[in-house]
């Protein structure tokens, strides 16, 4: 079904200043010397594609855990959830600079808690990034009582994690809640009873791809 909560245009609001600056620079360079102008417009096109933020259709599947980000699956397996101190099913999505970088809620739920941790900026494709890099985690609880941890992780190039929700806020599946600039990953920790629907190497799209199903 369509996402009725999508309040943004096709270009993420986080990118408006960067796009304006890139277009202004491209125009200036075009008047100064056209070969540099060509390079400037290529940079502007890159900025435009990076900050694209299209609306997404939400699968009408009860219990579905949706991908919170575009990218490639790099982890599916049992792991320790460091935020809720439990064994969990961990699914990680790695985003490169050509993926859409807005982050969406994987489930319908209430934000129980949130944690921000400063850290390093190692390659987000590496598993150690989950514990060493700058990150922001949300504890979501569904109406059925399932606890889901969703973690935004900065990457080698990423230098800014943006999260727009706080404890007590209610999110719906596919609702936009944050953004990470310039390459990163998102980790999702689920109850061990959840059934994975994605495998390492799969390419996924935020909101439209089902990562797992809650029991």
Whether 92 is catalytic? no
* Distance separating alpha carbons of residues 160 and 110, to the nearest angstrom: 24
Beta strands across the sheet bearing 102-104? 102-104, 176-180, 161-163
Residues 6+ apart with CB under 8 A from 56: 3, 6, 104, 174, 205, 206, 207, 208
How far apart, in whole angstroms, are the C-alpha atoms of residue 6 and residue 80? 33
Choosing from 67, 92, 105, 184, which is the catalytic residue?
A: 184
Secondary element (H or E) of residue 70: none
CA 124 – CA 126 distance, rounded (Å): 5
Q: Distance between CA atoms of 67 and 70, rounded to whole angstroms?
A: 7
- Mapped onto helix, strand or coil, the DSSP state of residue 171 is strand
- Residues linked to residue 116 through DSSP beta bridges, in sequence order: 136
Contact between residue 146 and residue 206 where contact means Cβ atoms under 8 Å apart: no
Dihedral, CA of residue 179, residue 110, residue 190 and residue 58, to nearest 10: -60
Distance CA 12, CA 186 (A): 18
> Residues with catalytic annotation?
184
């Amino acid at each position: 079904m369509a996402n009725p909560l999508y309040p943004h245009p096709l270009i993420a609001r986080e990118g408006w200043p960067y796009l304006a600056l890139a277009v202004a620079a491209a125009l200036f360079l075009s008047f100064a010397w056209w070969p540099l102008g060509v390079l400037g417009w290529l940079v502007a096109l890159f900025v435009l594609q990076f900050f694209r933020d299209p609306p997404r259709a939400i699968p009408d599947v009860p219990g579905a855990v949706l991908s919170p980000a575009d990218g490639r699956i790099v982890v599916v397996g049992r792991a320790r959830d460091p935020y809720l101190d439990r064994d969990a099913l961990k699914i990680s999505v790695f985003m490169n600079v050509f993926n859409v970088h807005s982050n969406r809620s994987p489930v319908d739920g209430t934000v129980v808690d949130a944690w921000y941790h400063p850290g390093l900026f190692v390659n987000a494709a590496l598993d150690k990034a989950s514990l060493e890099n700058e990150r922001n985690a949300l504890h979501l609880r569904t109406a059925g009582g399932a606890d889901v941890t969703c973690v935004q992780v900065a990457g080698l190039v990423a230098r800014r994690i943006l999260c727009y929700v706080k404890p007590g806020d209610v999110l719906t599946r596919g609702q936009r809640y944050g953004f990470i600039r310039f390459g990163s990953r998102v980790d999702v920790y689920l109850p061990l009873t959840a059934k994975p629907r994605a495998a390492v190497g799969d390419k996924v799209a935020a909101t439209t791809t089902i990562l797992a199903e809650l029991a």
